[in-house]
Amino acid sequence: MSGRTRAASVPPIEVSERDATIKIQPQARTDLYNTFRVGGPADYLVRAGTADEIGLALRWAGEHGLPVTIFGGGSNQLVSDRGIRGLVVLVRRPGKDAEAGLEVLEEDDKSVLVRVPASAPSSWFGRTAAERGWAGLAWLVGLPGNVGGAVVNNAGAHGGEISDFLVSVRVVGEDGVLVERDRDWLQPRYRGTRLKYPAHRETIVVVDATFRFAKRSAVELLAEADEYAEYRHRTQPTGACAGSIFKNPDGDYSGRLIEQAGLKGARVGGATVSTMHANFIVNDEKGTAADIIELIRLVQDEVERQTGIRLEPEVERTGDWS
């Protein structure tokens, strides 16, 4: 049996202000919104896709003295079995809706400047860019999560990072005001930015991001995108997992170290180190967050015992881990 606590059915709270209306769901399930499919209920959860909706949600949380947790695609989060205190803001929309928010700001024969909603699926954006002949993000195809999370985590693969093409982001803070910040403000680094590792507790939400791409043949870019997607399908597991569990240490690969330590297939409860790729943990959907975190520690301890290297998690613990 799963250790998840099921949320009770409670009517939503409707909040309106000027041009925005949001519905806040008390005691909402979180396992539906993260790719590990684990976690207890959030005190409150709201879907918010626009700057006005996000600002309204943050102000409501502030007025009620509630902490805020941001969910995008939920692919880099491990939610506690105890759930999440405060308000979860779910910044997400399907690709067909995200396309309506995609703006071409400048374009000439050689390059294009585009703005994309943070709520857009990363894989959709990677394929859309390839279809339009915008070079650089074909490796996003097949990657879980949303553009906002990719920016906050400075997602990367195959030698590239999303910040390589980033020009600016528009963000909303706790005051609900939309502000544009340039790339350097984000302080991008390996698998992170200032928003992933904030120096203070203020909540700042990415609403959209602006990128500049060189132009290339769409046929070539789509071929690259298909190649990356096929590689992921061939080498990485599907199912309830969160992408890479550990960051790569300098000069090596976490997956190689884990496999070398003989940990492929290692299991705790419903959580297993993938036999396809050792830097992935898969939940059989009967597992719990406690199973996953125990397996993460087991892997860290054994790799450190054998190599002296302590692997650093890439996945974030979210919620009440007290």
**What digits encode the pLDDT tens for the residues 248-285?**
999 999 999 999 999 999 999 999 999 999 999 999 97
Q: What is the mean pLDDT of residues 129-133?
A: 98
The owner of tokens 């396309």 is: 99
105-127 pLDDT per residue, tens: 999 999 999 999 999 999 999 99
Confidence of residue 71 (pLDDT cuts 50, 70, 90): very high
The pLDDT assigned to 151 comes to 97
**Which candidate in 80, 244, 254, 274 is catalytic?**
244
Q: What is the pLDDT of residue 7?
A: 58
Q: Is 180 a catalytic residue?
A: no
Alpha carbon separation from 239 to 36, 61, 166, 236 (Å, rounded): 8, 33, 30, 10
Which of the following is catalytic: 59, 82, 181, 191?
191
Rounded average pLDDT over 311-322: 95
> What's the CATH class of domain 13-90?
alpha beta
Residue 98 — pLDDT band, cuts 50, 70, 90? confident
67 contacts 319 by C-beta, under 8 angstroms: no
What are the start-end ranges of the E strands in 143-237? 156-157, 160-161, 166-172, 178-182, 205-214
State mean pLDDT over 232-259: 94
Given this model, what pLDDT does residue 6 score? 55
pLDDT band of 8, cuts 50, 70, 90: low
Mean pLDDT of 206-230: 97
- The CATH number for 96-235, chosen from 3.50.50.60, 3.30.465.10, 1.10.150.120, 3.10.129.10, is 3.30.465.10
Angle between helices 218-235 and 122-131 (to 10 degrees): 150
pLDDT interval class at 5 (50, 70, 90): low
Digit-coded pLDDT (tens) for 84-93: 999 999 998 7
Q: How far apart are alpha carbons 43 and 84 in whole angstroms?
A: 6
Q: Where are the domains of the chain?
A: 13-90, 96-235, 240-318
Give the number of residues written for the chain: 322
**Average pLDDT score over residue span 134-148:** 94
pLDDT tens figures, 288-306: 999 999 999 999 999 999 9
Residue 314 annotated to the active site: yes
Mean pLDDT, residues 5-29: 87
202 is catalytic: no
pLDDT band at residue 10 using 50, 70 and 90 as cut-offs? confident
Is the pLDDT confidence value at 322 over 60? yes
Which of 237, 243, 249 has the alpha carbon at shortest distance from 303? 249
Multiple choice CATH, 240-318, 3.90.78.10, 3.40.50.800, 2.60.260.20, 3.90.1170.40: 3.90.78.10
pLDDT at 246 over 60: yes
Mean pLDDT in the chain? 93
pLDDT at residue 49 above 90? no
Lowest mean pLDDT among 92-101, 144-153, 181-190, 299-308: 92-101
> Nearest-5° angle of CA 131, CA 205, CA 39?
90
